[in-house]
Chain A
Amino acid sequence: MSVVTEVSPDGQKLTISVKGRFDFGRHQEFRESYERLNQKPDSIVGDLKDATYLDSSALGMLLLLRDHAGGDDSDVRVINSNSDVRKILAISNFDKLFDIS
């Protein structure tokens, strides 16, 4: 599994971890990871610790996730991105939409 999800015991926090290349091939898995939940979590964390690469369709998937989580009112954080991934996020200025660390 290259997309792994974990919900906190109280159901308030969803963590989605993506491993390997985060590109269009992960589209289905990534969407399902948050769409299949019965309870909408308060906050979502995208953990990119093991993501080696990110392409523009992955950026699109992050936008979809943000939209699903409530758009401007959402609380979506992107954590543990490596330097390559962080560069791509920086070029796209995604730090204006997401809390990136």
Chain B
Amino acid sequence: MQAQEPLTILIAEDSAADRLLLATIVRRQGHEVLTAANGAEALEMFRRQSPHLVLMDAMMPVMDGFEAARQIKALAGETLVPIIFLTSLTESEALARCLEAGGDDFLAKPYNQVILAAKIKAMDRLRRLQATVLQQRDLIARHHDYLLNEQRVAKAVFDKVAHSGCLSAPNIRYLQSPYALFNGDLLLAAYTPAGDMHVLLGDFTGHGLPAAVRAMPLAEVFYGMTAKGYGLAETLREMNAKLKRILPVDMFCCATMLCLSFQRRSVEVWNGGMPDGYLHRIATGERVPLAARHLPLGVLSPQAFDDRTEVQTMAVGDRVFLLSDGVIDTTDADDRLFGVERLQQLFAANREPDNLFAEIEQALHAFRGEPRDDVSMVEISLLEAAHVVPSAPVYSDSGQSCPLDWSVSFEFRGATLRRFNPLPYLLQLLQEVHGLRTQGGAIYSVLTELYSNALEHGVLGLDSSLKRDASGFARYYEQRNERLEALQDGYVCVHLQVKPQGAGGCLVIRVEDSGKGFDVARVMERPLNGVRLSGRGVNLIRQLGHNASWSDEGRSACVEFFWEG
């Protein structure tokens, strides 16, 4: 037999002879013995000495064993102090009462030593089991608290990074559980220097802290590159390369990234592995799916990565709706998926666009039987460009070393034009001139338009009249991708000249291209406030800059910006 650790055992028995007999037996089995002559004494002894186990006579003067058992159990709380009733009672009702009062077992008088030893042993096993369970429960609770605290800290740090953007902009509505980050969901939004809006909804494989940690580098690339004026393609390439480098093979990030342009009234989309998003055209009620055309971020090597985007035209009030797979992957009790069809039924039934999120949530709740906390949805609507007020960037330099009298010229040729976007560099250069900073958005918009006109209509020879309607608009951007991919020759030159003028100064931007030019007089005849899809670039340049003019049959464009001292 396995040696048993000695226990402290309390014997409560009013008969002195029985008490002595029992004490002798128990002591001989190797245990410490405490004795009490009634329930009240037993209770007092229990309070002072905390025995491991109690042998309790049922019938005792002053306080009987039933009451003493109840009180001892209450005192012991969660710790198991086994109580074995000693009883000459035989009817089943009396025996049941012993157990109801909190007894764990009973032993019939007269005592059988072998059975007593066996019962003490069995009760000791139970006692230890209970102690282990409690200890492990407390350990789990401590770890849980620790984990929650880690999540709180991680969330606080992450919120600073992730929400440095413009999620609170008036045209964005979103729904995300506060701890969506720990489900791997990520939602980012920021204005570009030109006043466009970049939005990313991402979904990392995995859960918990590992998923949250991976979101950090992605958010930093997103905000850093958006603020500097990089477009979707360059930002996505960088994010993919970074994730490919740092993630294990089986980890990736499904993502949809958008560039919503209020000026051009269009949305540029890249979807890698996310469920279809939808462009909701309010005028027709049509919902254009924004389907996944690409593998998720972090799967392909930088060389194999495909940064091709699609462009759709939008009207003021149109909405783009994005969602995470938590919506369509919700399963019911029989493992059936909620699926895209049910989502589309909700779209069709929706009368009040602002209630859509709530209706989807309700439907998921009803389908699954309980709410989910890993559902992310975001809806971005197109506002009038004039209503968009991007927050001004904050600069920290003193302004003492501001360059005021200089000029610079660049010539970007075929192979460079194919992949490289020079605009962020040009903008950074111009931001060194303090007087121009308040007009940074306008300058960037104008530079962007001048550059894309030179590239698309000049070098690539694309016909802007293609953009007359929505399908032509999409076709235009397809052609742009194809021709750019095949581009060998041609150039775009950018000349920047900064001159002091009184207390202020003047910036002259001149952009030239190798294309065929265009009929300047005809384009300039158009009214400035037209709402056509094509030719908006030229209007924008004339509205935002000064003295906009075209020469060399449209191959050379010149715009000026002024600032006061």
Contacts and interface: CB of A to CB of B under 8 A. Distances in A.
A57 B295 contact: no
B169 to A, nearest CB: 28
Nearest to B273: A92
A91 B273 contact: yes
B326 to A, nearest CB: 11
B251 interface: yes
Given A55-B329, A57-B206, A64 B299 contact: no
Which of B252, B272, B294, B299 counts the most chain A CB atoms within 10 A? Answer: B299
A61 B250 CA distance: 6
B73 interface: no
Contact of A93 (B249, B295, B335): B295
Given A59-B205, A60-B252, A97-B295, A91 B331 contact: no
B273 A93 contact: yes
Contacts of A53: 331, 335, 337
A76 to B, nearest CB: 13
Interface in B317-340: 325, 329, 331, 335, 337, 340
Contacts of A63: 249-250, 252, 299
Interface of chain B, main secondary structure: loop
A52 interface: yes
B250 A57 contact: yes
A56 B205 contact: yes
A52 B337 CA distance: 10
A56 B183 CA distance: 12
A93 B292 contact: yes
B274 interface: yes
B335 A96 contact: no
A67 interface: yes
Contacts of B340: 87
Contacts of A84: 337
A64 B249 CA distance: 6
B296 interface: yes
Interface in B77-104: none
Interface in B289-303: 292-296, 299
A96 B193 CA distance: 35
A91 to B, nearest CB: 5
Interface in A60-101: 60-61, 63-64, 67, 84, 87, 90-94, 96-97
B301 to A, nearest CB: 8
Contacts of A90: 292
Given A53-B335, A93-B272, A60 B251 contact: yes
Contacts of B329: 55
Interface string A22-63: 000000000000000000000000000000110111011101
B249 A67 contact: yes
A96 B252 CA distance: 15
Interface residues of B, number: 25
Interface string B185-228: 00000000000000000010110000000000000000000000
B275 interface: yes
A22 to B, nearest CB: 12
Contacts of A21: 335
A24 B475 CA distance: 42
A52 B335 CA distance: 8
Contacts of B275: 91
A12 to B, nearest CB: 24
B205 A57 contact: yes
Contact of B250 (A52, A60, A87): A60
Nearest to B293: A93
A91 B275 CA distance: 6
Interface string B242-277: 000000011110100000000000000000111110
Given A57-B250, A61-B250, A93 B205 contact: no
A91 B335 CA distance: 20
Contact of A97 (B206, B274, B299): B299
A53 B273 CA distance: 17
Contacts of B276: 91
B94 to A, nearest CB: 51
B235 to A, nearest CB: 19
B292 A92 contact: yes
Given A52-B335, A61-B250, A94 B274 contact: no
Contacts of B249: 60, 63-64, 67
A97 B206 CA distance: 21
A53 B251 CA distance: 19
Given A53-B335, A64-B250, A91 B205 contact: no
Contact of B295 (A52, A87, A94): A94
B250 A92 contact: no
Contacts of B331: 53
Given A63-B249, A63-B252, A91 B274 contact: yes
A52 B294 CA distance: 24
Contacts of A96: 295
Nearest to A24: B206
A94 B292 CA distance: 11
A2 to B, nearest CB: 14
Nearest to A66: B249
Contacts of B337: 53, 84
16 contacts: A53-B337, A55-B329, A56-B325, A60-B249, A60-B252, A61-B250, A63-B299, A91-B274, A91-B292, A92-B254, A92-B273, A92-B295, A93-B293, A93-B294, A93-B295, A93-B296
Top 4 nearest A-B pairs by Cβ distance? A60-B250, A92-B273, A56-B205, A67-B249
Given A56-B205, A63-B249, A93-B295, 19 more contacts: A52-B335, A53-B331, A53-B335, A53-B337, A56-B203, A56-B254, A56-B325, A57-B250, A60-B249, A61-B250, A63-B250, A64-B249, A92-B254, A92-B292, A92-B295, A93-B296, A94-B295, A96-B295, A97-B299
